């Protein structure tokens, strides 16, 4: 009987670390390059080999916030739309997910799959019909219109996630509350809802990230008054050339809030996405 072949111990021990290290370099190197370039003058950005130690300048950041075309309105629009999308997606997704989890519906599993399958459609598929609807309802160039568009794509995922979170809450807890005299709404609000708060937080984080990074909806459904940060970055590519310093600085401004937000809510995101996981 032949012995089972195994990898050498050094490979088993250090191989995963090497793969993770390469992945970290692949991910962080462009971000680091962007950050350093945003602090260099244009000539220094394209030097080869690149310079790591240099005299930094905040010129491009000053142009962004106090120049002729400040990005502050774009930043405010991004925050308003992202928060509005998260609130709407989580609110409707929680109710829909609870209904799919608790109601005895015929073909419930097929309905759940149909809901999540709508999220698989490319964004460009719905742009034209949504533009036609928005034009008739005067929703173009409004925060509400962009929030609804983002919610359209976030809601199926929110319903699917919240349904899985509610499935992990024993229905016996609600039945016990009903026996004690609570109504169905009170059992939902006082028993089940507090137990899925980490899941609601994870869903909100995913909705915010999607809304913050969206470009197509923001480009087509908005104009100067309601455009978001990704659209502001695209406008730096002009007919006379690319404003590389502003592009790099804008990229940092777009990335920094999401990185900071992710670090702050990391614990809640992990606890929400691992609800119901079985520890071995």
pLDDT greater than 50 at residue 72: yes
Q: Is 169 among the domain residues?
A: yes
In this prediction, residue 197 has a pLDDT band, given cuts at 50, 70 and 90, of confident
Domain holding 123, by residue range, is 64-273
pLDDT greater than 90 at residue 148: yes
Give the other-Cβ count within 10 Å of 163's Cβ: 23
- pTM for this structure? 0.82
**Nearest 5°: phi and psi at 171?**
-65, -20
Both structure tokens of 228? 């978001």
> Do both 78 and 131 map to the same domain?
yes
Q: Is 3 among the domain residues?
A: no
Both structure tokens of 239? 């007919």
> Do both 177 and 81 map to the same domain?
yes
Assess contact for 201 and 108: CB atoms under 8 A: no
> Do both 18 and 130 map to the same domain?
no
pLDDT at 147: 94
> Do both 29 and 69 map to the same domain?
no
Task: State which H helix or E strand residue 183 sits in.
Answer: none
Average pLDDT, the chain: 84
- Length reported for the chain: 280
Give the other-Cβ count within 10 Å of 67's Cβ: 13
Please state, in angstroms and rounded to a whole number, the distance separating the CA atoms of residues 139 and 77.
Answer: 15
Domain boundary pick from 58, 82, 97: 58
Both structure tokens of 250? 């804008």
**Nearest 5°: phi and psi at 241?**
140, 180
> Do both 80 and 189 map to the same domain?
yes
Q: Is 4 among the domain residues?
A: no
Mean pLDDT calculated for residue range 165-191: 87
pLDDT digits (tens, 9 = 90+) for 10-37: 777 778 888 889 998 888 888 888 888 8
pLDDT digits (tens, 9 = 90+) for 111-123: 878 888 877 878 8
> Do both 220 and 256 map to the same domain?
yes
Please state, in angstroms and rounded to a whole number, the distance separating the CA atoms of residues 7 and 78.
Answer: 50
pLDDT at 274: 57
Total structural domains in the chain? Answer: 2
């Amino acid at each position: 009987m032949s012995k089972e072949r195994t990898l050498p111990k050094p490979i088993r021990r250090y191989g995963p670390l090497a793969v993770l290290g390469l992945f970290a370099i692949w991910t962080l190197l462009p971000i680091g390059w962007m950050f350093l370039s945003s602090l260099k003058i244009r000539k220094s950005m394209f030097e080869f080999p690149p310079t790591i130690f240099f005299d930094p300048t905040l010129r491009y950041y000053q142009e962004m916030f106090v120049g002729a075309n400040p990005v502050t309105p774009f930043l405010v629009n991004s925050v308003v739309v992202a928060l509005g999308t998260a609130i709407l997606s989580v609110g409707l997704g929680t109710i829909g997910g609870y209904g799919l989890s608790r109601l005895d519906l015929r073909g419930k599993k097929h309905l759940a799959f149909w809901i999540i399958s709508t999220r698989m459609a490319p964004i460009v598929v719905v742009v034209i019909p949504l533009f036609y609807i928005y034009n008739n309802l005067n929703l173009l160039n409004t925060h509400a219109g962009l929030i609804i568009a983002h919610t359209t794509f976030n809601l199926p995922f929110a319903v699917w996630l919240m349904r899985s979170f509610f499935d992990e809450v024993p229905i016996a807890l609600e039945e016990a509350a009903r026996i004690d005299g609570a109504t169905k709404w009170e059992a939902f609000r006082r028993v089940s809802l507090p137990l899925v708060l980490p899941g609601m937080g994870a869903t909100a984080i995913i909705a915010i990230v999607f809304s913050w990074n969206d470009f197509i909806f923001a480009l087509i459904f908005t104009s100067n008054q309601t455009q978001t940060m990704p659209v502001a970055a695209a406008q730096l590519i002009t007919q006379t050339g690319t404003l590389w310093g502003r592009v790099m600085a804008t990229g940092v401004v777009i990335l920094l809030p999401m990185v900071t937000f992710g670090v702050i809510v990391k614990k809640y995101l992990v606890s929400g996405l691992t609800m119901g996981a079985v520890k071995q």
